[in-house]
């Protein structure tokens, strides 16, 4: 039962921690423990404090808290290109995850330019932020080694250089995912499978890994790689996919399927195919990567690899929170490989095939797992027997949903 409370202040005055404590009949320290999510508070005490908070409409003074801790309450997310929907959607996930910590997110865009990326890691905005989540494209291991700024940082995306860095890192297994995508196409009987998205630039690490997975799947299916079916691009935008698809059709290479290294390339390629009167997937099957929202509503809907964006964002934010809380002296940098899912839709299955399979929707995930080829982590990092990952995993197995049920590779 709440105590009678006579604060003697006007309604325009913001309630204080002391006021909540008086109304709930507990100490200020107990209220602070409840507000900050301290787990060891008796349920009945926590309920009483929460009722007092609700009655007073109490809101923690984050500015005062941050000043006491020497914090701004702001973290930064730096990504290559917000015009690419994957990064825009990732930013939304990061904002959601950061909000659980009471943080505001400052978003920066580097365009994958090395000079801009070096500025980001140099701490040019260090006075504004408490920590940094950074997805670089062109940054080198030497650039990281020269970093003098001590702002806590978590890296997203591909590993920089051949060795692990001194920073926490969250990624997906691009080789395994690309191998599964290509194996899905070979499993449908496609034999002339093209790849759109190869890049030779220093910023093309993701493309090189996905190309490696594509090649491994062809080899596993006993198919020789035809260089004429591998089409390079300057960037991962729709226009690049449209141009690459036009070049591929004009070359006479004769593909019966195309694996695009992201969904925006695939949507551009789809536009070219439809404008040329090519039937998808009857004449040419089409597969993307990233599971952006546009691909779910295209006609035909786009088969794709869906990285666990929400998991990537939450893991990165949690790692950053751990760094800000003060890591143990013997803590080693963490590397977490997030899960991904292969989602087969109309662009590879076709509407009639889905109907014959008894699917009640236009989305069905198929079992076409390939072994992961991502880098192994130290033996102290763990993975559960079911394939789901603990806080840090060697690699997360891809999942597949068949008839709406998720399966790990061991149970599929």
- The yes-or-no verdict on residue 349 having pLDDT over 90 is yes
Domain count, the chain: 3
Strands of 150-250 (E only): list them. Answer: 153-156, 168-172, 193-198, 230-232
Cα–Cα dist 152/122, whole Å? 12
- At 204-258, the pLDDT tens digits run 789 999 999 999 999 999 999 999 999 999 999 999 999 999 999 999 999 999 9
The answer to whether residues 156 and 271 belong to one domain is: no
Q: Which residues have a Cβ under 8 Å from the Cβ of 21 and sit 6 or more positions away? A: 27, 28, 30, 31
Domain that holds residue 210: 174-307+340-356
The answer to whether residues 211 and 352 belong to one domain is: yes
- At 5-43, the pLDDT tens digits run 444 444 456 788 889 999 999 998 898 888 766 667 888
pTM of the model: 0.73
The answer to whether residues 180 and 106 belong to one domain is: no
* Strand 74-79 with 131-134, pairing: parallel
The answer to whether residues 284 and 351 belong to one domain is: yes
319 in the Ramachandran plot: left (φ > 0), alpha (ψ -120 to 50) or beta?
A: alpha
Cα–Cα dist 272/255, whole Å? 14
- At 353-363, the pLDDT tens digits run 655 554 434 45
The answer to whether residues 135 and 238 belong to one domain is: no
Is 198 contained in some domain? yes
Cβ contact 47:26 at 8 Å: no
The answer to whether residues 116 and 133 belong to one domain is: yes
Q: Residue 255 is part of a domain; what is its CATH number?
A: 3.40.50.2300
Cβ contact 79:110 at 8 Å: yes
The answer to whether residues 284 and 322 belong to one domain is: no
* Strand 405-407 with 400-402, pairing: antiparallel
The answer to whether residues 232 and 351 belong to one domain is: yes
The answer to whether residues 290 and 160 belong to one domain is: no
pLDDT at 160: 84
* Average confidence (pLDDT) over 160-184: 91
Is 379 contained in some domain? no
The answer to whether residues 134 and 280 belong to one domain is: no
Cβ contact 310:294 at 8 Å: no
Is 396 contained in some domain? no
């Amino acid at each position: 039962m709440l105590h009678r409370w006579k604060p003697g202040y006007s309604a325009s005055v913001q309630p204080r921690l002391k006021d909540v404590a008086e109304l709930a009949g507990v100490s200020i320290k107990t209220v602070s423990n409840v507000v900050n999510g301290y787990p060891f508070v008796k349920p009945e005490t926590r309920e009483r404090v929460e009722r007092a908070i609700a009655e007073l409409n109490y809101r923690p003074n984050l500015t005062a808290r941050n000043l006491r801790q020497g914090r701004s309450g702001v973290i930064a997310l730096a990504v290559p290109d917000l015009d690419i929907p994957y990064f825009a959607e990732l930013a939304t996930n990061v904002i959601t995850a950061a909000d659980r910590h009471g943080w505001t997110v400052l978003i920066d865009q580097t365009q994958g330019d090395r000079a801009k990326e070096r500025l980001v890691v140099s701490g040019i905005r260090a006075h504004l932020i408490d920590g940094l989540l950074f997805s670089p494209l062109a940054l080198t291991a030497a650039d990281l080694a020269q970093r003098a700024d001590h702002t806590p940082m978590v890296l997203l995306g591909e590993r920089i250089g051949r060795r692990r860095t001194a920073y926490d890192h969250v990624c997906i297994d691009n080789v395994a995912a690309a191998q599964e995508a290509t194996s899905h196409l070979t499993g449908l009987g496609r034999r002339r499978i093209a790849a759109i998205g190869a890049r030779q630039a220093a910023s093309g690490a993701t493309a090189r890994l996905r190309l490696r997975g594509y090649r491994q799947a062809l080899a596993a299916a006993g198919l020789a790689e035809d260089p004429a079916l591998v089409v390079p691009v300057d960037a991962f935008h729709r226009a690049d996919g449209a141009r690459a698809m036009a070049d591929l059709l004009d070359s006479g290479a004769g593909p019966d399927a195309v694996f695009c290294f992201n969904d925006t390339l695939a949507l551009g390629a789809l536009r070219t195919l439809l404008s040329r009167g090519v039937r998808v997937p009857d004449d040419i099957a089409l597969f993307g990567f990233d599971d952006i929202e546009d691909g779910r509503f295209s006609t035909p809907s786009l088969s794709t690899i869906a990285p666990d964006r929400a998991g990537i964002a939450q893991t990165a934010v949690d790692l950053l929170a751990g760094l800000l809380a003060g890591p143990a002296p013997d803590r080693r940098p963490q590397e977490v490989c997030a899960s991904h899912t292969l989602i087969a839709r109309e662009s590879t299955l076709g509407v009639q095939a889905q109907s014959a399979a008894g699917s009640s929707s236009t989305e069905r995930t198929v079992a076409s797992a390939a072994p992961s080829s991502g880098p192994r982590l130290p033996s102290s990092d763990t993975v559960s027997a079911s394939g789901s990952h603990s806080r840090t995993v060697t690699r997360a197995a891809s999942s597949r949903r068949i008839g709406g049920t998720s399966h790990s590779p061991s149970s599929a």
